[in-house]
Chain A
């Protein structure tokens, strides 16, 4: 079969937090801009331009990825979870509850990325050690908290998350 013709506009269909969206976009449109500007989901933040800070972390088919380093067109057909999707039926996710209880945020700018990296971490490892938690969030920079309370927040979430909840199986 012939290969597709290189195009300068591409149709993208993504499911974000359970809702389907279709748009025609430039290939160079970064996923983070698509989420923030086209879908008005501004909870995912931009903190750098060299893929170092992790503020833009989202889950793509359950995998934590830097949405600033993905093109929107690459997310075609994927299921994306952003911070806006963590709360379910008015109930905070145990990780969100943990950040609240343990003072795991101050300015809040790195928090969405941290929450999603933490969610992915707990899905792969339901009872991480402190060292594993620190390693698990080492792709997410925070300038305010010094990380101590973020670790505690994730431990709080881990303690209250059932294994099924961790991997996203609804009860």
Chain B
């Protein structure tokens, strides 16, 4: 009997997404969609001052507002030992203040009411008296001896949080001193905010009878949150259930524990009713975890021929009022030491100092892989600065210094072992695709006519998949990840994983991994995650770690199942396991392929006909400790035209060649790149959060925080190379954040390239029209002056 080949559609197939049917119909289950009987609503009173003593909080008018059930302040929390909470970086952060506030929009009190509208009225009616104090805004001034203290509660009595360094300081000094040429540059990467279209929120519900606390929460890491909540609240962990339902975008902004979550839980525990908290967009922008805010000083030394000799970086990291970043604990500056980039760098030395200021705490959240964006921005800018100094083509300079394919695995001088890469091939593909030589010719012609056109390259190496237990932990929890697979008798399967999608398509891609490994059709595989009661323990999804860690766990768990299935097949085929090979998604007898069994047949046998001595069932669980990180990479080329009249930068073309190793679903990978590129364009040209001297925040609503629309966003051109990771079970590396990391320097390099003939060597982001106009004005090429 001829059997039709089942449509497995595992790795490499652009399977349409299994999660789409509900989203397309408006049937997603986002936090704000949840309604429980008797549910109360929580809203937050926030400080208008960046630094102030709280003289008094008068809730009496608020309590008179119809529908207001309670007002909770820091004093109430203090009585329960909950006024402060730990951050993921082992710092502490106020949940609600007892005596002073340390950032504008800080949570000061919460109002709980029977309706959203009553809660808002309650917030307006709470009267807080403040005594403003001088704010600390400039992180460099914050380190001066007479600077006001942001955190008088800290033992150190200083605004300096930590110092971190890596590399050989003396050897790097020597390398730079003996280099033919050294280029030096200050680079400021401003504060930005993820602004996922769904804001943060939760519904907390405590069942008095069972003693179980259930928290539906916009969290990218439900298990870690459960453990932290248990440690802080003393409620035993088996009595806490954290559920991440559908999440409307995370990008790292839904990793930290925000005061709002804790207050909602406290309100649920004290009122005995479910409490919902959903922040407004302004609250989200003004108080939730930001990203970047790195003040960088970089030096790159090289031979006259262009061969790099050494890199030295000193960075001041502005963390706001608490170090509430989500880095692995030994890495307060994240994976910033990837800053030697795609280049064979003989020496490097990096030091970073974290500083407190009167701004919201944070921050690594903006699709950035633990400070890799900052690192890549630095090295790619320095490479172009070096090219300019040496009068070398920036593509040639890169080719000259790339780590070559035969050098992998490559140990960088700052301690990372890059798994695999082929940088020359990626760059060449990008150059060919964009027509580089033709563009340089066009640029020459345009320059002669006074037109400003630029070409910018970024060849980045990412570092993701945190991470091996010997080096990585968050608050002591190792950064493994997990998968549990159970195959049912009739040949379909359920997979539960420890990571948490916020749009990356895990319900589809993880099903594809299992489909490939087990030979089961992808539509017969159900993927679940996000419920800590049922999903195996994982560290969640951020920093592009899901495919490298949980993807590996999934493949390995599937292989365990396949190993058992082999024994079932041997039993059914009455042969030895050694006589079998796994081919075309079946176990076949070597040399007699017509004698074979498919996985559905074996699944059935696992429950109806398993051999004596073997347990029934067909399932496995794996906790995967990655042996290394993975290193996706790419080559991006951007073409810009600058309007000499207005200073506007127009991105004419952008070619992105990405390499994420084995591609599970090309359609989804391409979508991740499109989204990432757009989140690279945004900080390069539009988005910024900044504080004036009085500590007032600018960019705190979507009126001024300029998220690009479809009109600002170019038509991204994408392609790929495939260089599998040798240590990953399916060779996949992860891709979610690559484009956000690689894109900004390509755009900056293009703008500088457009202006370099005028003597411009650097522009900081965002490259807004006024900023560019001022440069044009100074260089005498602005069409209109004032």
A positions within 8 Å CB-CB of B: 26, 28-29, 33, 36-37, 40-50, 52-53, 55, 82-84, 86-87, 92, 96, 99-101, 103, 105-112, 115, 130, 133-135, 137-151
Contacts and interface: CB of A to CB of B under 8 A. Distances in A.
Given A33-B116, A146-B675, A53 B16 contact: no
A105 B23 contact: yes
A84 B197 contact: no
A109 B702 contact: no
B197 A47 contact: yes
Given A106-B504, A108-B248, A52 B197 contact: no
A135 B194 CA distance: 24
A116 to B, nearest CB: 10
A135 B532 CA distance: 43
Contacts of A44: 26
A111 B679 contact: no
29 contacts: A29-B117, A37-B35, A41-B26, A42-B33, A43-B28, A47-B197, A48-B701, A49-B701, A52-B702, A53-B197, A55-B197, A100-B17, A103-B668, A106-B504, A106-B505, A106-B675, A107-B197, A108-B23, A109-B197, A111-B23, A138-B709, A143-B197, A143-B251, A143-B675, A143-B707, A144-B675, A149-B671, A150-B710, A151-B715
A135 B711 contact: yes
B441 interface: no
A143 B23 contact: no
Given A33-B116, A45-B248, A96-B24, A144 B32 contact: no
Contacts of B703: 50, 52
B428 interface: no
A43 B246 CA distance: 13
Contacts of B668: 103
A37 to B, nearest CB: 8
Interface residues of B, number: 57
Interface string B130-174: 000000000000000000000000000000000000000000000
A46 to B, nearest CB: 7
A53 to B, nearest CB: 6
A107 B711 contact: no
B116 to A, nearest CB: 7
A168 B247 CA distance: 32
A145 B354 CA distance: 33
Q: Name the prevailing secondary structure of the B interface residues.
A: loop
A19 B538 CA distance: 45
Contacts of B196: 107, 109, 143
Interface string B481-508: 0000000000000000000001111000
B460 to A, nearest CB: 18
8 closest A-B pairs by CB: A43-B26, A108-B23, A109-B248, A107-B503, A146-B674, A106-B503, A83-B26, A52-B702
Nearest to A93: B24
Given A50-B701, A106-B503, A134 B249 contact: no
A65 to B, nearest CB: 17
Contacts of A50: 281-282, 701-703
Given A50-B703, A107-B198, A146-B675, 9 more contacts: A36-B33, A52-B702, A100-B24, A101-B16, A109-B196, A115-B24, A133-B710, A143-B195, A145-B674
Contacts of A92: 24
Contacts of B702: 48, 50, 52-53, 141
Interface string B669-683: 011011111110000
Contact of B249 (A28, A96, A109, A151): A109
A137 B710 contact: yes
Interface string B640-674: 00000000000000000000000000011011011
Nearest to A43: B26
A82 B26 contact: yes
Nearest to A151: B710
For B247, B505, B707, which residue has the most chain A Cβ atoms within 10 angstroms? B707
Contact of A143 (B20, B116, B249, B677): B249
For B21, B116, B675, B678, which residue has the most chain A Cβ atoms within 10 angstroms? B675
B30 interface: yes
Contacts of B251: 143
A151 B23 CA distance: 18
A145 B675 contact: yes
B711 A106 contact: no
B669 to A, nearest CB: 10
B195 A105 contact: no
Nearest to B705: A52
A40 B34 CA distance: 10
Interface string B163-203: 00000000000000000000000000000001111110000
B449 interface: no
B540 to A, nearest CB: 16
Contacts of B26: 41-44, 82-84, 112
A100 B16 contact: yes
Contact of B24 (A29, A105, A135): A105
A104 B505 CA distance: 12
B46 to A, nearest CB: 13
A43 B25 contact: yes
A42 B280 CA distance: 17
B716 interface: yes
A90 B116 CA distance: 34
A100 to B, nearest CB: 5
A43 B33 CA distance: 8
B24 A111 contact: yes
A146 B716 contact: yes
A143 to B, nearest CB: 5
B457 to A, nearest CB: 20
Interface string B615-628: 00000000000000
B713 interface: yes
Interface string B31-74: 01101000000000000000000000000000000000000000
B709 A141 contact: yes
Contact of A142 (B19, B21, B197): B197
A49 B197 contact: no
A42 B32 contact: yes
A8 to B, nearest CB: 13
Given A134-B710, A148-B716, A47 B281 contact: yes
Contacts of A42: 26, 30, 32-33
A108 B16 contact: no
B298 to A, nearest CB: 29
A43 B502 CA distance: 17
Contact of B19 (A52, A101, A108, A110): A108
Interface string B236-265: 000000000011110100000000000000
A147 B248 contact: no
Contact of A106 (B32, B194, B671): B671
A57 to B, nearest CB: 12
A109 B198 contact: yes
B27 interface: yes
Contacts of A108: 19-20, 22-24, 28, 246, 248, 503
